Every structure is written in structure tokens, then in C-alpha cells.
């Protein structure tokens, strides 16, 4: 086996992504009374891009499982009148950790 060492590591830096696709959760969302009575299915598609300049260590890894658990925890205990409020809360939760960049997308 031959081990390759890059002389110019800067040339090979790239953004790392965590993609969560088609996560469907039941949550309380809506402004009308009938919407507040029963939870609704909401589909999440999230793309998180990390800073390529982060050093590769265990603290700099974005764990998709912890992101999903954060979403579940946030949506389980709160009612959101609008999906926009839900997405703002999710962004706030994700940006608590500064290693995520502003290229997070929620579809």
C-alpha cells in the first residue's frame, strides 16, 4: 500500500455537506383552531455546509444524527403558527454551533 501526501493541501480543500432528505415529522403547526387540534406531517430537506478551513477533528464534525435530534426536540415541544417561524427556529438552533455556515438550506 502506498500512502499519498499532498504537497498543496490548500488546493484540495472542499466544503463538507450533511444532507438530510425527506425527514417527515408530525408536528403542531398552523394559525387556525383546527390546525392546532391535530398534528400535521411536515417534510424536511436540509443541506448543511461546513467551513472547509476547519481542522479535521471530532469537534468539527457535523453529526446528522444530532441535527435530526435537535429538530425532533424543537418540534416536539413547540407549536408553530407559521412554517416561517419554524424555519427561523431551526436556523437559530443550527447556528448556535458556529461551524455551520450560512449556506444551510431548508426546503
Task: List, for residues 73-104, the tens digit of each pLDDT value.
Answer: 999 989 999 999 999 998 888 777 555 544 44
Secondary structure (3-state) at 84: helix
Residues whose CB is less than 8 angstroms from the CB of residue 72 and which lie 6 or more positions away in sequence, other chains included: 25
Beta pairing partners, 49: 17
User: Range of 68's domain?
Assistant: 25-106
Q: Is residue 50 part of a domain?
A: yes
Of residues 65, 57, 55, 52, the one with CA closest to residue 100: 52
DSSP E strands, 1-107: 17-27, 40-49, 105-106
Q: pLDDT of 27-66, one tens digit each?
A: 999 999 999 999 999 999 988 887 777 776 666 677 788 8
On the CB side of 26, CA atoms within 13 Å amount to 4
**For the chain, how many structural domains are there in total?**
1
Q: Is residue 14 part of a domain?
A: no
Amino acid at each position: 500500500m502506498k500512502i499519498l501526501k499532498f504537497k498543496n493541501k490548500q488546493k484540495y480543500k472542499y466544503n463538507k455537506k450533511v444532507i438530510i432528505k425527506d425527514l417527515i415529522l408530525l408536528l403542531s403547526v398552523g394559525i387556525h383552531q383546527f390546525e392546532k387540534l391535530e398534528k400535521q406531517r411536515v417534510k424536511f430537506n436540509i443541506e448543511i455546509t461546513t467551513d472547509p478551513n476547519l481542522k479535521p477533528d471530532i469537534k468539527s464534525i457535523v453529526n446528522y444524527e444530532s441535527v435530526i435530534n435537535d429538530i425532533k426536540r424543537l418540534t416536539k415541544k413547540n407549536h408553530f403558527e407559521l412554517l416561517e417561524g419554524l424555519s427561523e427556529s431551526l436556523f437559530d438552533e443550527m447556528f448556535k454551533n458556529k461551524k455551520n455556515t450560512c449556506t444551510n438550506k431548508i426546503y
